[in-house]
Structure formats: structure tokens, C-alpha cells
Homo-oligomer: A and B are copies of this chain.
Amino acid sequence: MTSIAFSPDGRSLISGSKNGTVQMWDVETRQPIGKAMSAGQESDPISSVAYSPDGRTIASGTSKYDKVWLWDAATRQPTAQMAGHQDDVTSVAFSADGKTLASGDLGGRLWLWDIMTRQPIDQMAGHQDDVTSVAFSPDGKTLASSSIDGTVRLWPGPVAWREQLCAKLSANISHQNWDEWISPDNNYVKVCPGLTVLDDDHQR
């Protein structure tokens, strides 16, 4: 739960306000960069902001709203409102490779999101009260969360999750399935490097 974050190059800072906006600032001049990014109602405080490690994406959670917002850091335009949480979002964190976002909510639940497809990867329940912080281990194998319930929980991170998924599969999905299930707008990714790719013709 942090409401300020420096960009990885240190040139800009983002801050979440009490009025539902995220503002980017020029660190050198101390001036705002562009208009405030509106991520909710005026009465919705921004609970958490995060910069992706490559500096291209900003994520924010709002403490009176159940969606996780993604922003293009260059244009400061929203690129996604990821829906899934049934309670207000308290905390967001990127994995070190920037491919995954974790978010926690007031209901004690955690969600993992794929940044490229903007789709949920998994959700996790266990905490009995508000999630207060989420953090990835540097290798992406573990996600940690803390809660007002007084416990710290460790979960499989995106790398472990991918390893578990690939252990159950016999091949990567075909390019055609990728276009149908994910989006033709996203370049095909061989999610399980050790497995072959299903032949597109074989699918028809």
C-alpha cells in the first residue's frame, strides 16, 4: 500500500490522490506532467500505485472501487480496467520481469494479472481481513501478502504458476487458438518453452 512511486529512470514520480486521480510529476522541475489521470470517483482515494520495471505501464488501485487500472505511462491514457475483485483494491505490485501484476483487496483476496493480455491468471483466498501489502520475490516464484488479520501468506508466484501449468500440458496452444482466445493484437508467446507448439492445421 503505497501512494507514490518513482519511474525506473527516476525522472518522474506518480502519486495517488485522495480524489480518485493519479498524477505524474517531473522530478527535476517539480511540475506536474499532463493532467491528473482520473481513476475513479472524486470520493475514491487511490490506495496504491506502481510503475512497471520497464517504465511503460502504471497500475493503480482505488480504495472504493473493485477494478485495477492500467495506464500507458507515455500517453497517461488508461489501457485497461481489470475486473475481478469483489472488494476495494488496497495494493498493487509488479513482478520483477514486469509480466505480472498482483493486487490485494479489502476482502482478503489476491489476484494475479497477465499484463500483456490484461486477463486474470489466478485468484487466491485465505486472509481473513484486508490485504495490506503484496510483494513478489525477485525470481517471481513467490508472492507474499500481509493482512490486517495478522498473518503473512506466501503463494505461488507467476513463475511457479507457469511451471505448474506447463507440467500439465503436452503442447503450447496453436497460433490460431492464441488469436481466438487471447487476441490477434498480442504477439504469440510460447508460454511453455519446453513444449512444442500445436500445429494450426492440426486444429482445423
Contact = CB atoms under 8 A, between A and B. Distances in A.
Interface of A: 1-6, 8-10, 13, 15, 17-18, 23, 25, 27, 30, 132-133, 135-139, 141-142, 144-146, 150, 152, 154
Contacts of A23: 152
A135 B10 contact: no
A103 B200 CA distance: 57
State how many copies of this chain the complex holds.
2
A13 B154 contact: yes
Contacts of A8: 138
A6 B135 contact: yes
A90 to B, nearest CB: 12
A144 B17 contact: no
Q: Among A27, A132, A133, A141, which residue has the most Cβ atoms of chain B within 10 A? A: A133
A137 B139 CA distance: 23
B2 A145 contact: no
A30 B144 CA distance: 11
A146 B30 CA distance: 14
A138 B10 contact: yes
